[in-house]
Amino acid sequence: MWPYVAMARTLETEPDRVYERIVTEVAAIDGTDPMELPPLFNAVDPDALLSVFSATESGVSRSGRVEFPYAGYEITITFDDDPELRIERA
């Protein structure tokens, strides 16, 4: 189980699974079934989220940060060499 810090989780994740990780981690924090949460695409376009992690046409990795609210949480994804997902109660 991931450690809680002020109702937040920070963890590394694989870029191609980040949207699944968001839903499963929020469900775990809430102690609910992931199917009971609102669809993630209501908060962010999963395809657009994946494209942020893909390399540029020249092959250079992107870096940056994406933030959005989801199911009562503030989701922050920092991406560089190893993407980091932070889920914090809003």
Task: Report how far residue 5's alpha carbon sits from residue 38's, in angstroms, rounded to the nearest whole number.
Answer: 24
Within-domain flag for 5: no
Q: Which domain holds residue 42?
A: 15-54+61-89
d(CA 90, CA 73): 5
- For 53-85, the pLDDT digits (tens) are 777 778 777 778 889 999 999 998 887 766 788
Residue 7 in tokens: 């109702």
Q: Which of 30, 35, 32, 18 is nearest to 75 (CA)?
A: 18
Residue 49 forms part of a structural domain: yes
The answer to whether position 4 is within a domain reads no
Asked if the structure places residue 45 within a domain, the reply is yes
What six digits make up the tokens of 26?
Answer: 């929020």
Q: Which residue has the tokens 């908060």?
A: 43
2: in domain: no
In a domain, 39, yes or no: yes
Judged against a pLDDT cut of 90, whether residue 86 lies above it is answered with no
Its pTM stands at 0.78
Look at residue 34 and tell me if it is in a domain. yes
Q: What domain count does the chain have?
A: 1
